[in-house]
Homo-oligomer: A and B are copies of this chain.
Amino acid sequence: MRRETRVPRPTIADVARQAQVSKSTVSRVLNGQTSAMRATTHERVEQAIADLGYRPSALARSLTLGRSRTIGLLISDVGNPFYAEVIQGVEDLALSEGYSLFTANTRYDLLRAERLIASLADHEVDGVIVMSSMLSERCVALLRQRGIPAVVIDWPCQVEIGRVGAVRVDYASGIDQAIEHLVSMGHRVVGHLSGPAHLPTSQTRTTAFLEAMAARGLDAQSAPVVTGTLRMEGAGDALASFLAHSPQPTAILAANDQSALGLLFAAHGMGLSIPGDLSLIGLDDIRLASQVSPSLTTIALPRLHLGRMATEMLLGLVQGQAAEPPIATVTTRLVVRSSTAPPMKETR
């Protein structure tokens, strides 16, 4: 007794027949153009729709309308905890505006990114949000080439003309607060664990660090800056570098929470006390930051907001009501927790 027959979903024609009206009438009901319609007709159509459990085909609709109410979300790596909330922000707003999301991970692979973008274009997404720092430039170029509106998140480079927007992150504000926090507690030698040098965002953060130091008359020149990976791995080596540096830093600002946590765990492993022997500040405020022990003082990025803003901007571009210039900035702010404290007085 297997019912192999795939019951085809009802179409607008089925509804029309059932309600004894034309397809146009049904279509009007579907699109709310019901003002100049006889109440009984309206009623009959609604009834038929309900009876048949009819739902319009997004595919067919997209084809006729020329827009798909679909947007692409290009991410470098879902596994990066940083992105999760941004995704939520995007999804929330997109959903509430009736858009669906094609999500795709570039995996930091340009070839893959190209294929994904091609695929998104093939599916006629109305726009794309790009959150893939290393690949953003190429991605945006490809998208522009296909005439697809796009918004880049946290990509400090110049946004050229065209239907491309950008949501920037003002790291400097939070980083400045962080340095102020350390300095006011008495720290004088502060180290910086940066991200890979080729990432624009690493440079931005490092620059902001150096400027914040200089602004307080600290010797930014001799401040130990170690290049890390933005990941937890390898933090042990980085920590060793800091400890070998002279003068030895009493506090370290890491380029992100992951690497800060790497330092934290490495310190644990070496029997170093945080914040007793060393103060630590991260950046991002990922969930984990508040859950480790000691909880991590960090510079919070409003990620949900970031996602929402990007989506809002993209939908603006899609609907042609582009803000000029399509650039927005979100600020960061310090969240003080337990990984920072005044330095011990043995600062040589």
Contact = CB atoms under 8 A, between A and B. Distances in A.
Contact of A56 (B2, B57, B122, B161): B122
A59 B124 contact: yes
Contacts of A294: 269
A268 B267 CA distance: 13
Count copies of this chain in the complex: 2
A105 interface: yes
A154 B291 CA distance: 27
Interface stretch (A35-43, A78-86, A211-219): A78-86
Contacts of A262: 291
A187 to B, nearest CB: 24
A275 to B, nearest CB: 14
Interface of A: 2, 6-7, 9, 55-60, 62-63, 68, 70, 77-79, 81, 83-85, 87-88, 91, 95, 100-105, 107, 115-116, 118-124, 146-147, 161, 232-233, 261-262, 265-266, 268-269, 287-288, 291-294
A209 B254 CA distance: 40
A311 B258 CA distance: 31
28 contacts: A2-B161, A57-B63, A57-B122, A57-B124, A58-B119, A58-B122, A59-B59, A59-B62, A59-B63, A59-B68, A59-B123, A59-B124, A70-B123, A77-B84, A78-B84, A79-B84, A79-B85, A79-B88, A87-B105, A88-B107, A100-B104, A100-B120, A100-B123, A101-B104, A102-B102, A102-B103, A266-B293, A268-B293
Contacts of A59: 59, 62-63, 68, 123-124
A121 B57 CA distance: 9
Given A57-B124, A91-B105, A95-B116, 14 more contacts: A2-B161, A7-B147, A55-B118, A58-B119, A59-B63, A77-B84, A78-B78, A81-B81, A87-B105, A88-B107, A91-B104, A265-B291, A265-B293, A288-B288
A265 to B, nearest CB: 4
The 4 closest A-B pairs by CB, nearest first: A79-B84, A103-B103, A269-B293, A232-B291
A235 B85 CA distance: 23
A138 to B, nearest CB: 17
A287 to B, nearest CB: 7
A108 to B, nearest CB: 12
Given A95-B115, A103-B101, A232-B288, A122 B55 contact: yes
Contacts of A120: 100
Contact of A100 (B9, B84, B102, B161): B102
A255 to B, nearest CB: 17
B63 A60 contact: yes
A62 B58 CA distance: 11
B81 A79 contact: yes
Contacts of A77: 84
